[in-house]
Amino acid sequence: MTDLEERIAHLTRALDDLSEVVARQEAEIATLTRRVALLMEREAAREDAEGGQILLGDDRPPPHW
């Protein structure tokens, strides 16, 4: 009986630890999601300001040409 109580105590502790990890990850994912959305909005605004052009660099050929 004592063995089962010890196992339950360890499993309960492990479950609590995992629950804390999941809660931290959920908060971090929410933060990262907000940041990505902000970056997407900024990029969309930049594309609108530039007339929708995609800038790949200057038009000069590479030095080896």
> pLDDT averaged over the chain?
89
* Phi–psi pair at 40, nearest 5 degrees: -65, -40
What does the pLDDT look like over 21-36, one tens digit per residue?
999 999 999 999 999 9
In a domain? residue 58: no
Domain that holds residue 44: 1-50
In a domain? residue 37: yes
Question: First vs last Cα of the chain: how many Å apart?
Answer: 81
- Cα separation, 45 vs 40, in Å, equals 9
pLDDT of residue 22: 98
In a domain? residue 55: no
In a domain? residue 23: yes
User: How many domains does the structure of the chain reveal?
Assistant: 1
Using 50, 70 and 90 to split pLDDT, how confident is the model at 63? Answer: confident
pTM of the predicted protein model: 0.62
In a domain? residue 64: no
Q: Which residues are CB-contacts of 46 (< 8 A; sequence separation ≥ 6)?
A: none
